[in-house]
């Protein structure tokens, strides 16, 4: 939290450019996604049977973003965000579902004819004509 978001009114340790390089999205988009997800059932922070708080929504979101941004294995996040492989796998799946279902209609679109032409030209130059 302190590194990327700041705590107790203090600015984050790392600035916006480093945040964007590490998470592959601007901080504003990350915060928007967090705000959209934090109250959904999986993402909410719950109390376990021993009365201890379970993982915070930001932990889950950071774990999922690391899998998507770096292509790292879900079991690697246990060292950084202290979550199990299973939790990070579910978080990644739920994040992708959110991105496709909720943000997809707003941001995803089929390519234009001009874009398709450019893709075909690049692929043909790479030795893959018609792909």
Half-sphere exposure of 49 (CA within 13 A, CB side): 0
Give per-residue pLDDT as tens, 35-55.
999 999 999 999 988 999 988
Mean pLDDT of 10-39: 87
CA distance 69 to 96: 12
Give per-residue pLDDT as tens, 81-119.
888 889 999 999 999 999 999 989 888 888 899 999 999
pTM, entire model: 0.75
């Amino acid at each position: 939290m302190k590194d990327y978001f700041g705590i107790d009114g203090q600015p984050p340790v790392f600035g916006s450019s480093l945040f964007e390089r590490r998470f592959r999205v601007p901080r504003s988009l990350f915060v928007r996604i967090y705000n959209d997800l934090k109250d959904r059932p999986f993402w909410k922070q719950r109390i376990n049977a021993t009365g201890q708080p379970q993982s915070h929504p930001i932990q889950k979101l950071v774990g999922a973003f690391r899998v998507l941004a770096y292509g790292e294995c879900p079991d690697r996040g246990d060292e950084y965000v202290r979550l199990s492989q299973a939790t990070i796998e579910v978080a990644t799946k739920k994040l992708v579902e959110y991105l496709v279902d909720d943000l997809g209609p707003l941001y995803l679109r089929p390519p234009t004819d001009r874009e398709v032409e450019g893709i075909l030209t690049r692929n043909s130059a790479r030795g893959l004509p018609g792909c």
